[in-house]
Amino acid sequence: MAKYKELAEKVLENVGGSGNVDQAWHCITRLRFNLHDKEQVKIEDIKKLDGVLGAQFSGDQFQVIVGNKVSDVYAELEPMVGSDGSGSGGEKKGQRQGIVSATMDFISGVFTPILPALAGAGLLKGFLALFVTLGWLNNEGDTWAILNAIGDSVFYFLPFFLAVSAARKVRTNEYLALVLAGTMMYPTFIDAANGLTDVTSFSIYGLNFISIPVLNYSSSVIPIILAVLLLKYVYNFVKKFMPSAISLMFSPMITFLIVVPITLWIIGPLGTNIGAGLSQVFVWLFDVAGPVAGLLLGGFMPLIIMTGMHYAFAPIAIQNINTIGNDSFLQPMMFISNLAQAGAAFGVAVRSKNKALKQLAVSSGISATIGITEPAMYGVNMKVKKPFIYAMISSGILGAFAGWYGFKAFALGGLVGVFAIPVFADPSGAVGPIVVALILFVLSLVLPFILTMIFGFEDVPEEGKAAEAPKATEEKKTQATSGTQTQTVVQSPLKGELVPLKDVSDPTFAQEIMGKGMAIEPSENHIVAPVSGTVMVLPDSKHAIGIKGDNGEEILIHIGIDTVSLKGEHFNALVKVDDRIEVGQKLIEFDREAIKAAGIQTVTMIIVTNTPDYLDVLSINDSGPVFEGEQLLTLVR
């Protein structure tokens, strides 16, 4: 659709264009980017885009939170950055990822593309378990066997899926990666591991010290990922020295002869042991200190999801399901946390007097009930603050109960919400787990809803009623309070004629990219402080000044259009960076006539650069004369 294409174009433009994109992909609610130069990102402009719920860096990965239409937006974005999700830019400029950041980014990039397959197959297995529990399906019949094969196929052949996504992530040939997965899953090794043959180990190349253990790599996660990493470097090294005429045939063959034995001998067993070790740590943690582990993980799960760290837990959850048959930490805690965000949003919908916020809270609450929490978290609960805390408290309490009881998921459910309830059904047919899942479903919605209704929050006033700018203020008065709103007054820094910002010839100001405000055509040769505060920015050209006000307002006064080209000529600064200034204090002197004689406009912009921090920025008048010290803008929180 046109609106998704427009949003994709604007996001891409504000991350620095396709040339700045190293990789792009998406998860359930977010566009995710690896960028060559993150300094090019205009994060505040992206946050203002219609359709964007938020934007943030998680480590060195840039995330744009779009919500449940993210796949539509990505479908328009993908052709713009290339079919492999990458632009044409060069190497990253002086950026090095830390180990934790790089690991998180890598895991997210590997697992996100295969989530639809994992979610669909896992949910199908969950429904099968539920139907068996309810007596609707016989787990020995043909129908169950076929449907179970569908659900099992993704997990049994998981190394193939991971081989492709890992190869795409590290930029190596995905078909060569599939050969690694195919070798690891070859019946010779699978049969030996299952005891169908008498083979207990293998040797290769006549080297007796190489003893390849017999392991079953079906459903494994870490071995194939490590193998693909090795493949990338070996293949690139071999190609570097291979004559181009024979590289197509011999580079892959030599790579296989090196990588496959190392994988079967060292990397495979190492990855298997790492996965088993991590699995045992979490199982032990919930067995020994279940309530404490549940309290912490459940309570802080929204913050974990916000940073994308939940992807780091995905391999462990999959490992647990494949080895011990259940996941006791990731999906149970996400289930409780997601529903708590929904319950808090529904509380906001009932209690708020703002009609627009009510509608947003209802729709985002429904999305969170399904398992998509970003609209509720960013658009509602965090916006009014306290409901977000109520949701965290509720999920912590219920997480502690879940940890004490031993609440488990028996399959992977994808979107962890109401439709994921079947994954908590015990395949053995025991009724208890599904009953507990239904109880936690209700409590996770109700508890934060009640807390929100009882303790309340600071409501967002409706537009138009929020803050009517006062028509008269005392000369030195800079802040007023009305009900739950705070109004900060910005005085005019100079005398002249008002000019609406949209009429300024510089599109950066006219389109309010820097923020909302007003412009003035000066009739005097100096500017004064519009608020009391501190000088934040004062370039050598002295044509502009940035002020941090005592009430948190950030004001930019930009004298003229393109006056930076004068390199300070015709300007005289009377203050310096970090100086304390008082409202009405003279800041900069300039020569209007000399500036005009140089062919440069003198219209002066007064911009609130932290506009997103306010409900609105209101101007007293749109035209006519204005005097130094007269009220110019009202900032409403």
Q: Which residue has the higher pLDDT, 97 or 306?
A: 306
Band of the pLDDT at 603, cuts 50, 70, 90? very high
Give the contacts of 492 (CB within 8 A, at least 6 positions apart).
520, 530, 606, 626, 627, 628, 629, 630, 631, 632
Residue given tokens 């067995």 in the structure block: 287
The pLDDT value recorded for residue 87 is: 41
Q: Please determine, for residue 484, whether its predicted confidence score (pLDDT) is greater than 60.
A: no
- 27 tagged catalytic: yes
Band of the pLDDT at 607, cuts 50, 70, 90? very high
The pLDDT value recorded for residue 437 is: 92
From 303-312, 455-464, 589-598, 618-627, the region with the lowest mean pLDDT: 303-312
Band of the pLDDT at 96, cuts 50, 70, 90? low
Q: Which two tokens stand for residue 442?
A: 């209700």
pLDDT digits (tens, 9 = 90+) for 327-337: 888 889 999 99
Q: Which two tokens stand for residue 139?
A: 């787990």
Q: How far apart are CA 350 and CA 459, in angstroms?
A: 12
Q: How far apart are CA 104 and CA 312, in angstroms?
A: 6
What value does the mean pLDDT of the chain take? 83
The pLDDT value recorded for residue 445 is: 95
Q: Which two tokens stand for residue 406?
A: 């031993």
Sheet holding 54-58, edge to edge: 21-26, 30-35, 61-65, 54-58
pLDDT digits (tens, 9 = 90+) for 222-237: 899 999 999 999 999 9
Q: Please determine, for residue 474, whether its predicted confidence score (pLDDT) is greater than 60.
A: no
Q: Please determine, for residue 467, whether its predicted confidence score (pLDDT) is greater than 50.
A: no
**Residue length of the chain:** 637
Calculate the CA dihedral of residues 158, 82, 85, 258 and round it to 10 degrees: 60
Q: Please determine, for residue 103, whether its predicted confidence score (pLDDT) is greater than 80.
A: no
Give the contacts of 569 (CB within 8 A, at least 6 positions apart).
594
Range 479-636 classified under CATH 3.50.20.10:
no
The pLDDT value recorded for residue 104 is: 66
Catalytic annotation, pick one of 21, 27, 392, 518: 27
Band of the pLDDT at 481, cuts 50, 70, 90? very low
- Average pLDDT of span 58-64: 77
Q: How far apart are CA 342 and CA 302, in angstroms?
A: 12
pTM assigned to the model: 0.53
The pLDDT value recorded for residue 274 is: 82
Q: Which residue has the higher pLDDT, 337 or 416?
A: 337
pLDDT digits (tens, 9 = 90+) for 189-225: 888 888 888 888 888 887 878 888 888 888 788 899 9
Sheet holding 631-636, edge to edge: 479-482, 485-491, 631-636, 616-619
Q: Please determine, for residue 443, whether its predicted confidence score (pLDDT) is greater than 90.
A: yes
HSE of 123 in the Cβ direction (CA atoms, 13 Å)? 15
The pLDDT value recorded for residue 486 is: 61
> What are the φ and ψ backbone dihedral angles of 126, each rounded to 5 degrees?
-65, -45
Share of the chain above pLDDT 70, in %: 89
Cβ atoms 608, 635 nearer than 8 A = yes
Give the contacts of 393 (CB within 8 A, at least 6 positions apart).
299, 448, 451
The pLDDT value recorded for residue 530 is: 93
Tell me how far apart the 2 most distant CA atoms of the chain are, in Å. 97
- Average pLDDT of span 298-323: 76
Query: CATH class for domain 2-96?
Result: alpha beta
Q: Which residue has the higher pLDDT, 470 or 426?
A: 426
From 9-13, 346-350, 381-385, 606-610, the region with the lowest mean pLDDT: 381-385
pLDDT digits (tens, 9 = 90+) for 255-297: 999 999 999 999 989 988 887 777 778 778 888 888 998 899 8
The pLDDT value recorded for residue 68 is: 63
